[in-house]
Structure 1
Amino acid sequence: MAQRRMFSKEITTSDTFVDMPMSSQLLYFHLGMEADDEGFIGNAKMLSRAYGANSDDLSLLKAKGFIIMFENGVSVVKDWNLNNKIRKDRMKPTIYRSEKSILNVDVDGSYFIRNKMTTISQPDDNQMSAQDRLGKDRLGKDSKDILSGSDEPDHVPYKEIVDYLNKKTRNKYRSSGSKTKSLIKARFNEGFSLDDFKAVIDVKSSQWVNDQKMNKFLRPETLFSNKFEGYLNENNVKPNNTDMRNMTQEEGMRAALGKYYKE
Structure 2
Amino acid sequence: MAERRMFSKTVVDSDAFLDMPLSTQALYFHLSMRADDDGFLNNTKRIQRLIGATDDDLKLLIMKRFVIPFEDGIVVIKHWRMNNYLRKDRYTQTVYQEEFAMLSVKEDGSYALEETSGIPDGNQCVTVGIPDGNQLATQVRLGKDRIGKVSIESSINTACPEPEEPAPDREQVISLTLNDRSEFWIYGDQVEQWSQLFPAVDVLQELRKMKSWLDSNPSRRKTKRGILRFVNSWLSREQDKGKLNYRTKAPQISEVDSW
TM-score, normalised with respect to structure 1 = 0.48
Q: Which has the higher contact order (CA 8 A, sep 6+)?
A: 1
TM-score, normalised with respect to structure 2 = 0.48
Give the structure with higher Rg (CA).
2
